[in-house]
Chains A and B, each alone.
Chain A
Amino acid sequence: MAAHSYAPAQTHAEVTRDVVATLGAPSRGYVMMLAGAVGLFLVGVFTFTMLLKEGLGLAGYNPPVMWSVYITTFVFWVGIGHAGTLISAILFLFRSQWRTAVYRATEAMTVFAVMTAGLFPIIHIGRQWLFYWLLPYPNQRYLWPNFKSPLLWDVFAISTYLTVSTTFLVVGLVPDIAAVRDKVPGWRKKLYAACSLGWTGSDNQWRHYTRGYLYLAALATPLVLSVHSVVSWDFAMSIIPGWHGTIFAPYFVAGAIYSGIGMVLTLLIPLRKLLRVEHMIVDYHFDNLAKLTLFTGSILFYAYAMEYFVAWYSGNSFEQVTFWRRAFGPMWWAGWSMIICNAFVSQLLWFRKIRTNLTALFVISIFINIGMWFERYVIIVSSLSNDYEPWAWGQMNPTWADWGILAGSFGWFGMYFLLFARTFPIIAIQEIKETIPMPRKRGGH
């Protein structure tokens, strides 16, 4: 398959048939993966129950490091959620046809990743049952939240992002659910009929739908860029050494997209086999995903270099010590994991042979996931460990309660993603059909 051009070789009817077939009886591999995800989720449930019972003391918080694994994992999952909307909204506006085969899976990944991320600030606050204090609601004393705090900006940014990405996913699904409705029998037909909201594909429906979808994409595009900028300001608005940088917003956005595409690769490479859609998601799609990974990975490489350069050039001894300790201090192993996995491993994707070798891509995607988690861990924990007062410096070591919640988050995410992939079309039927010319009585296209 030529990597620079691709058109689906199927007819419209074959597209419907193949995608509807993914909703049939699950394979053994799928059941095993779902069981694994549920198992991890139960680990998370147990750990969270213990946190509710015993308090946050079970986790590895140690002054001055009062943001650690939970906030690291929060930023990690929000970042994962960025690739989906980039692929579904931004590439839609650019009319990139290669997105059609992969965008539904990435969009679902976005929704479930942001759902996962949203749990972490709640777990982190300690008294989880009072999470609603974050919202501006008319309480007895008319006490309102502090709108000047970046943490409240985050509440609005993340909740808006979750709502808009869910809306975008659901709107895109409606015509495809109608196609499934028209193919399946029995109770499933009734279920899909209810979910398809009376969709028939009439000219009138397409007229409003295509316009609405375009505007949703146009609204989601700046939102993608804004959300991780706001997350970066949680750090950049403070004066902690290593956080107070003007490059944080673009640095975080590039990192988020990079990590998100890494996760897309991790999910899609086995999923296409599990759902038997290898003929629909082909080398061409992975090649393009890998190019996006290379692009954002290179931005990240530049940002890492700039961070060290700015620390050196600033002449600010606190910044210099922070970055020296990231490379050669007690957390050197985490600092170098981040640099090797993100800046260096991504450069392998300059080679087309690697971009189209799915085993190599899968291994690289695992490195990306690990590297991006460590990036957030290094930024958060190393900066907090070494504040302005050396007598107050301190280290934290994650405990089983940190790892248990981290593992549980992968289970929670994986469980929803796998259930979605069996219940709804994971490949966009209607958009793929749009790229296939309809047959002509007089021949040609």
Chain B
Amino acid sequence: MATMTAGVLGSFIHIDAAVDAIRALQAQGHKDLTVYSPAPNHELEEVLDHPVSPVRLFTLVGALTGCAAGFAMTIWMSNNWPLLVGGKPFASVPPYVVFAFELMILFGALSTVAGIIIMSAVQARRRIPYDEKFSDDHIGVFVPCRAEQAATVEGLLRRAGSVEVTHAA
């Protein structure tokens, strides 16, 4: 297991206090923050200003693959076991739209979930401290920093309104 990342973890009960702290930390050059919240929050999204999640690419590629797979499977299988009825073509595209549609949704949904898991896992390779209050009603702000910066960061968090500050070594 990876060792714990060194830094300072501040806990907030007020959303505006947490936003103030993040702004102040960003102004001091701390860009690599981790912010915990019990639910998604627009103010936090705004201040953190992350780019749009690449999960949408997983959805797009999965859905297109599913659509192509639906048509490919039905057309190939119809030609592979030909049933000649009244001189009509073996493969009939209109009814196969149903399969292409269903597999588009199926592959799109499953690849979306894979996208969420992969993207969350890729960016969570390091261990950082967590507090159980963050899934309840607190907001957490973790600032990775060296031991000599810890006191300054703690002071900043407390001034902004942090109700609890802990150090991770």
Contact = CB atoms under 8 A, between A and B. Distances in A.
B106 A201 contact: no
Contacts of A439: 13-15
Contacts of B17: 441
A369 B99 CA distance: 31
B144 interface: no
A146 interface: yes
Interface in B117-134: 117, 119-120, 123-124, 130, 132-134
B55 A148 contact: no
A430 B39 contact: yes
B124 A11 contact: no
B108 interface: yes
Interface stretch (A25-33, A210-218, A268-276, A283-291): A210-218
A208 B116 contact: yes
A326 B153 CA distance: 78
Nearest to A438: B15
B102 A157 contact: yes
B98 interface: yes
A200 B101 CA distance: 35
Contacts of A215: 55-56, 59, 108, 112
B37 interface: yes
Contact of B35 (A156, A171, A202, A226): A202
A384 B138 CA distance: 62
B110 A200 contact: no
Nearest to A205: B120
Given A182-B132, A201-B135, A203-B48, A164 B36 contact: no
Given A160-B105, A171-B113, A204-B123, A179 B136 contact: yes
A164 B59 CA distance: 13
Which of A178, A181, A182 is most buried by chain B, counting CB atoms within 10 A of its CB? A182
Contacts of A136: 73, 77
A278 interface: no
A147 B96 contact: yes
Interface string B25-57: 000000001111111110011001010110110
A12 B98 contact: no
A147 B74 contact: yes
B13 A204 contact: no
Interface residues on B, range: 35 or more
Interface string A143-175: 111111000010011001001100110010001
Contacts of A393: none
Interface in B81-124: 81, 83, 92, 95-96, 98-99, 101-103, 105-106, 108-110, 112-113, 115-117, 119-120, 123-124
B103 A212 contact: no
Contacts of A211: 52-53, 55-56
Contact of B16 (A11, A145, A440): A440
B124 A204 contact: yes
B8 interface: no
Given A147-B96, A164-B105, A206 B40 contact: yes
A137 to B, nearest CB: 11
A341 B105 CA distance: 35
Contacts of B130: 200
B120 A208 contact: yes
Given A182-B136, A200-B134, A441 B120 contact: no
A151 to B, nearest CB: 12
A13 to B, nearest CB: 4
A13 B136 contact: yes
Interface string A404-445: 000000000000000000000000001101100011111000
Contacts of A223: 105
Contacts of B150: none
Interface of A: 11-13, 16, 136, 142-148, 153, 156-157, 160, 163-164, 167-168, 171, 175, 178-179, 181-183, 197-212, 215-216, 219-220, 222-223, 226, 230, 430-431, 433-434, 438-442
The 6 closest A-B pairs by CB, nearest first: A182-B132, A12-B137, A144-B77, A438-B15, A211-B53, A212-B116
23 contacts: A12-B39, A142-B80, A157-B102, A160-B102, A160-B103, A178-B135, A179-B38, A182-B136, A200-B135, A201-B36, A203-B48, A204-B50, A204-B123, A212-B112, A212-B113, A215-B56, A215-B59, A226-B101, A430-B38, A434-B39, A440-B14, A441-B14, A441-B161
Given A136-B77, A201-B135, A222-B105, 11 more contacts: A12-B137, A144-B77, A148-B92, A201-B37, A202-B34, A202-B36, A212-B113, A215-B59, A215-B108, A216-B109, A223-B105
